[in-house]
Amino acid sequence: MIVFDLGCENDHRFEGWFTSSDDFERQQKDTLLSCPICGSLHITRLLTAARLNSGRAEPPAGNSDQAGDKAAQYANFDAARMLKLISHIVENTEDVGRAFPEEARKIHYKESPERHIRGTASPKEVDALRDEGIDVVALPVPAHLASKPH
């Protein structure tokens, strides 16, 4: 496995794990990669400082890397758990596709019955929903799960 630092057009940074550089390039070309924060499909590989393996399992005492500490908060949420979470969401929500922003507003303003929905929205549409006080979460849903019936 190889880990790349990735970013989207909205300056969100995240990691991606791939079997090789070719695997990353193939997934990027086929638009299989998406930002876990906003759902953007415009993903690029970021420059990364080289890391040398000194054989130490822990950083030296008193030498705290704050960026590393922040990343460690999310380290226990691995790909298998993320896939399990997304599968649960897909199985327990109604796919409203591109009508997501409109349906979310209808539910929020009680113009439609309350129900759990999922769909697609642009980063601007997500921001607008949040500005209206509508809670939304952008999740990367793999194509093979996105088309599952609810």
Q: Is 52 contained in some domain?
A: no
Asked if residue 145 has pLDDT above 70, the reply is no
Both 89 and 43 in one domain: the answer is no
Q: Is 21 contained in some domain?
A: yes
Q: Is 102 contained in some domain?
A: yes
- When pLDDT is cut at 50, 70 and 90, the band that residue 133 belongs to is very high
The per-residue pLDDT for range 26-83, each reduced to its tens digit, is: 888 888 888 888 888 999 988 765 444 444 444 444 444 444 443 433 445 567 777 7
Mean of the pLDDT values across residues 116-140?
87
Both 89 and 139 in one domain: the answer is yes
DSSP collapsed to 3 states, the chain? CEEEEEEECCCCEEEEEECCHHHHHHHHHCCCCCCCCCCCCCEEECCCCCCCCCCCCCCCCCCCCHHHHHHHCCCCCCHHHHHHHHHHHHHCCEECHHHHHHHHHHHHCCCCCCCCEECCCCHHHHHHHHHCCCCCCCCCCCHHHHCCCC
**Host domain of residue 120:** 82-146
Q: Is 55 contained in some domain?
A: no
Are the CB atoms for 28 and 66 separated by under 8 Å? no
Q: Is 131 contained in some domain?
A: yes
Q: Is 54 contained in some domain?
A: no
Say if pTM beats, i.e. exceeds, 0.95: no
The per-residue pLDDT for range 2-27, each reduced to its tens digit, is: 888 888 888 888 888 888 888 888 88
Number of structural domains the chain divides into: 2
Q: Is 124 contained in some domain?
A: yes
Q: Is 67 contained in some domain?
A: no
pLDDT in the model for residue 60: 43
Q: How far apart are CA 17 and CA 5, in angstroms?
A: 9
Both 42 and 87 in one domain: the answer is no
